[in-house]
Each structure stands twice: as structure tokens, then as C-alpha cells.
Amino acid sequence: MPSPYRALFAAPGSKGFSAAGFLGRMPLSMMGIGVVTMISQLTGRYGLAGALSATIALSAAALGPQISRLVDRHGQRRVLRPATLFALTAAAALLLAAHYDWPDWVLFVCSAGIGCVPSLGAMTRARWANLYRDTPQLHTAYAFESVVDEVCFIFGPIISIGVSTVWFPEAGPLLAAVFLALGVFWLTAQRATEPEPHPHEQHSGGSALRAAGLQVLVATFVATGAIFGAVDVVTVAFAEEQGHKAAASVVLALYAAGSCVAGVVFGLLRFTGAAERRWLLGICAMAVSMIPLLLVGNLPFLAVALFVAGLSIAPTMITTMSLIEQHVPRAKLTEGMTWVSTGLAVGIALGSSVSGWVIDAAGARAGYGVPAVSGAVAVAVGFLGYRRLSRPAPQRGGSHEHHSEREERHVA
């Protein structure tokens, strides 16, 4: 590991919470696809399987920011453990309902309950921010976390699908639940690195989404999420049209691998210019990288095009986290990070649905028009909101700074 990354873990407790965060984040990429695999094997109803997966995603998008807001107010340990127990109970009920062929409405209720799962990525990033705020190491830490995200998305679906097909249908979601339990309870046992809660600041300040800069980031990432959701669905359909459906997982893994490589390199660099300019450049690069997909004629060309497209993902996500840290009050940092994930989740659901309709109507190659259009929308929103990102954010301090820095908030 390059020296800047080694230096990250010189801080006491950093290895422990990053390892726990990695383990607890695996279900993010395992649960949805695991439910699809389980339901399709048990019932053969792919429509039901997809609807349940979408229910989990949309429920997590709705509940995630509220859970993170409670975390900022009361602390990670006090909130994450009961929220996780609720999600685990819902997951156990879903496995039983699927195994014993209970009514569909029970499956949907249980799937909605799984959405109570906390955002471990936001929790670990908040701990890094607590350790390295206003230092160059924070940029490297966010880069490391983006690489961890991509590793989860490379290996999580493969593991989930593999154990469900080799062992038993419920194995994928069950293993995801085990990872979640171990990760959350391991993370919350580490009190020394837990960010200090800010109950009074949270109570008086309202939602983090009131920050104008965060609104721009979330709106842009709805369009960005549509890119991701559409690329996944269309790539599977394109591979099936080519007669090699199984190759879709390898091609999509290369998409994530491109992001992973770029994230490692980006974390080694040091920047002095305005972060919002790098962010807008990243959004533009993501949009432009979708254009070659409209010209794909075979899987090898698609694999290369997606690997190149992936190179812009992690740098853009890393810069986004830096902007959140600049525009959201410290007392609401976890909630702010979760709102971006919510925007992505909503976008993924939209992109998946719209691309499915396009594929049914005009074929897989036409489906790549959806991520291309989504990229153009992301660029438009980014340019329209650029001035909001360029403005300094007021009151970035926590509750202990709220009164003493009120008159200085224009320099925060």
C-alpha cells in the first residue's frame, strides 16, 4: 500500500473502524441481488423478485437520512444497534416468508423493514472526518473509502449469487445479514473514534438538506444514480442478446474496477484549486464516458468502454464527500453524506426502471441511451447549481461552536 495510505492508519483505532465498516458495508451490494436470486429460485417470479429488491432500495433511501440524523444527534452506538436489530428482524422474517411461501404482502412489508439498515459508509467517513478534519489526510481517507465501496460492489454480488446457487436459495441474504450484524456491532464497540453527538445543534438546525450546496449535490447524484442503474440493467440485457449472459457480471466488475483504480491514484494526489471545479469536471467526464456505449457492438468493446467510464466515478465521489464536509455543518455531517447516498439510490431505481422499458421497446443497444441522457441531465444540474457550491457554507461548526462562531460564519 502506498505510503499516504499507510500513514492514514497511524491514528489509533483507524484500522479497527475501517475494517468493521468494510464488513458492515458488504450487505449494500449483497442484499438486493441476494433477494432477487432467492425469490427467482424459490418461485420463478422475476417480477416479484425485482419489486422486492426495489422496495428495499427505496425504503433505505427514505429511512437512511433519518437514521443518520438520529446518529448525529445521539451518537452511533445508541442509534445503530437498535436500527440494525430491526433490519435484521425484518430480514429474518423475509427469509421465513419466502421459504414457507407466505403471502406477497408479507414479503413487501419485510423488505420495507430491511430499509432500516444504517449507512456504514457514512459512519466510517464521519469517523475519518473526526480524525483528520482540515488536513490533507482527509482527502486520502475519502479516497480509501471510495475504493472500499468499489471492492464491495465487485465482490458482494458474486458472493451473494454464488452462495445462493451453490448452497441454498436463502444463503445470499442470510450471509449479508451476518455481515451487517458483525460489522455494526464491531464498529459501535469502538467508542474512542466515535464522533461526538450534537443533540442541541441537531434539534435547532433542521435537516442537513437545508444546505444549498447539499441540495445541488443530491439533485446531481439522482441523475448520476440513474447512470449506474441503467448501465447495470442494459449491460445484462446486452450480454444476453450476445448469447453470453453470464459474462455480464465480469463486464460490470470491470466497470467497478476502473473506479477502484482511479480512486487509489486519486487519493495519492494533492490538490490546491477549488473542489467544486474538480467536481464539475468529474460530472462532465462521467457524462462523456457514456457516449461510447451508444456505439458498442460486442462484449470486448463494451468491457473496455465501461472500464474507461469507471475511471471518473471514484474521483467524483471523493470530491463530493469533500464538498459535503465543506457545506454541511459538522453536527450534521453523517446525515449529509447519507443524503447523497439517498440521491444515488433513487436515481438507480429510476435508471433501472426506465432502461427496462427502453430495452423492452427497442432492444439493449438503445437502452444505453438512458445513461447517456442521464449524464447530460447531471451536467445540466451541475452547471445550474455551480454558484451554490462556490459560496462558502455558514455555520459549519458543531454545537459547541454554534454561539461563539455565529458572527464568523461567513468564513466557515
- pLDDT tens column, 91-131: 999 999 988 888 889 999 998 898 888 878 888 888 888 88
Instruction: For residues 107 and 183, state if they share a domain.
Output: yes
Instruction: For residues 116 and 254, state if they share a domain.
Output: no
Distance of CA 281 to the CA centre of its chain: 20
Instruction: For residues 184 and 240, state if they share a domain.
Output: no
Instruction: For residues 295 and 363, state if they share a domain.
Output: yes
| Helix (H) or strand (E) run with residue 406 in it | none
Cβ-contact 223, 377 below 8 angstroms: yes
Alpha carbons 128 and 122: distance in angstroms, whole number = 10
Query: Domain with 114 in it: what CATH number?
Result: 1.20.1250.20
Instruction: For residues 172 and 233, state if they share a domain.
Output: no
Of 192, 227, 257, which one is at a domain's C-terminal end?
Answer: 192
Cβ-contact 106, 97 below 8 angstroms: yes
Domain-embedded: residue 309: yes
Domain-embedded: residue 325: yes
Instruction: For residues 313 and 226, state if they share a domain.
Output: yes
Domain-embedded: residue 337: yes
Alpha carbons 119 and 263: distance in angstroms, whole number = 20
Q: How many structural domains is the chain composed of? A: 2
Give the chain's length: 412
Domain-embedded: residue 345: yes
Cβ-contact 170, 3 below 8 angstroms: no
Q: Which domain holds residue 188?
A: 15-192
Domain-embedded: residue 218: yes
Q: 269-318 pLDDT, tens per residue? A: 777 777 788 889 999 999 999 999 988 888 889 999 999 998 998 888 88
The torsion angles phi and psi of 134, rounded to 5 degrees, stand at 65, 25
Mean model confidence pLDDT for the chain = 80
Of 164, 192, 220, which one is at a domain's C-terminal end?
Answer: 192
User: Amino acid identity of 288?
Assistant: V
Q: How far is CA 283 from CA 217, 287, 341, 348, in A?
A: 11, 6, 16, 16
The torsion angles phi and psi of 246, rounded to 5 degrees, stand at -60, -25
Q: 165-217 pLDDT, tens per residue? A: 778 888 888 998 999 999 999 988 888 887 777 665 544 456 666 777 788 88
The torsion angles phi and psi of 135, rounded to 5 degrees, stand at -130, 160
- CB atoms closer than 10 angstroms to residue 44: 9
